[in-house]
Amino acid sequence: MERRALGSLQVSAVGLGCNNFGGRLDESATRAVIDAALDVGVNFFDTADIYGQEQSEVLVGRCLKEKRSEVVIATKFGMPLDDQRFGAKPEYVKSACAASLRRLDTDYLDLYQLHYPDETVPIEETLGALHELIEAGYVREIGCSNLSVEQLRAAKKAAGVKPAFVSVQNQYSLLAREPEADGVLGACAELGLGFLPFYPLANGLLTGKVRPGEPLPEGTRLANMPVERQAHWRSEEMLTRVGRLLDYAKSIDTPLLTLAFSWLLSHPEVSSVIAGATKPEQIRANAAAATTLGAEVRTRLDALTN
């Protein structure tokens, strides 16, 4: 599989989101998905302390223990684990990192990411703690998630001559084009950031399994979502766009999944497309979906979804 630069790291163009591990999937099912990912050339595994109520990191660590030097493990901190463990204060950053290292059973993290901005803490203080972790050898690169252009620029300025964020992980897909409108995608080139889109399949709408006017397939992410959260994704406008994409995919004899992944990868700012999987066949399909799209196809996809 193609490798792309993410700071000093080389990551597979398709990564594996690990949010299902420790929650929807037990250790056996997690190992089956991770083994399948390794088999198809995936080396980038993205987890977070909050996933699976802290168990995702535990399972990822166990399943990748024998392959540690061959893989890139990314995790995140900052979202509330309980009433005491949350945020981006320096002491918490360091204690959260130590806890993630223990759960992952590793000596270092390849990419450590601020999961959500903490406006109660100056970014200089958070970066100071992250720099200490880098200097101590616990972290190789640092990144962030859910930051705005203004926050990204402030972080870059605050880093000065010391290591800055090498990545930003925000929502982006054919059905969620906000990073283009809000300037985050453009800022990646300006600031030297790799973009990591989450929800690249729009909660399953871009897998080709969800069709307008038909019931949601049982067991899918969207079907398991609370009704109030389904509302946005099942709106008439969203399903109309899905219908247009399905018709176009059929007309060019290309799976919608392929269009979804490859359209994202056609953007030079994108370092890796991270998607979750609950079955080995899903990660194999995701890996196979990464290909090169012609300019005409990309233009048509833009027109259908803007």
- What is the amino acid identity at position 287? A
Q: Give the pLDDT of residue 211.
A: 80
Q: Give the pLDDT of residue 231.
A: 76
Round to whole Å and give the CA distance between 234 and 164: 38
Q: Give the pLDDT of residue 36.
A: 98
Classify residue 110 by burial, with Cβ atoms within 10 Å: 0-12, 13-18, 19+.
buried
Round to whole Å and give the CA distance between 113 and 7: 13
Strand duo 139-145 + 109-114: pairing: parallel
Angle, helices 295-305/236-251, rounded to nearest 10 degrees: 160
Give the start-end residues of each E strand in the chain: 3-6, 9-12, 14-17, 44-46, 72-77, 109-114, 139-145, 167-169, 194-195, 273-276
202: left (phi over 0), alpha (psi -120 to 50) or beta: left
Candidates 156, 176, 180; CA nearest to 166 is 156
Which of helix, strand or coil describes residue 189? helix
Provide, for the chain, the percentages of residues in helix, strand and coil under a 3-state DSSP scheme, each rounded to the nearest 5.
Answer: 45, 15, 40
Query: Is the per-residue pLDDT at 66 higher than 90?
Result: yes
Query: Is the per-residue pLDDT at 67 higher than 80?
Result: yes
DSSP codes of every residue in 207-244: SS---TTSPPPTTSTTTTS-HHHHHHHTSHHHHHHHHH
CA-only gyration radius of the chain, Å: 19
Q: Give the pLDDT of residue 147.
A: 97
Q: How many CB atoms lie within 10 A of CB 80?
A: 12
Confidence of residue 222 (pLDDT cuts 50, 70, 90): confident
Mean pLDDT (whole number) for 299-306: 92
Q: Rounded to the nearest 5 degrees, what angle is found at the Cα of 51, between the Cα atoms of 265 and 162? A: 65
Q: Give the pLDDT of residue 137.
A: 98
Q: What is the pLDDT of residues 154-208, one digit of tens each?
A: 999 999 999 999 999 999 999 999 999 999 999 999 999 999 999 999 988 999 8
Round to whole Å and give the CA distance between 101 and 99: 5
Which of helix, strand or coil describes residue 177? coil
Query: Is the per-residue pLDDT at 241 higher than 80?
Result: yes
Longest pairwise C-alpha distance within the chain: 55
Residue 49's φ and ψ, nearest 5 degrees, are -60, -30
Q: Give the pLDDT of residue 232.
A: 79
**Domains, in order of start, for the chain:** 3-201+255-292 (3.20.20.100)
Mean pLDDT (whole number) for 290-302: 95
Q: Give the pLDDT of residue 144.
A: 98
Query: Is the per-residue pLDDT at 291 higher than 80?
Result: yes
Round to whole Å and give the CA distance between 157 and 159: 5
Q: Give the pLDDT of residue 138.
A: 98
Task: Take residue 185 and report the two structure tokens written for it.
Answer: 């995608």
In eight-state DSSP terms, residue 171 is B
Confidence of residue 219 (pLDDT cuts 50, 70, 90): low
Q: How many helices (H) and strands (E) does the chain have?
A: 12, 10
Q: Residues with catalytic annotation?
A: 51
Give the range among 80-94, 113-127, 223-237 with minimum mean pLDDT. Answer: 223-237
Round to whole Å and give the CA distance between 167 and 169: 7
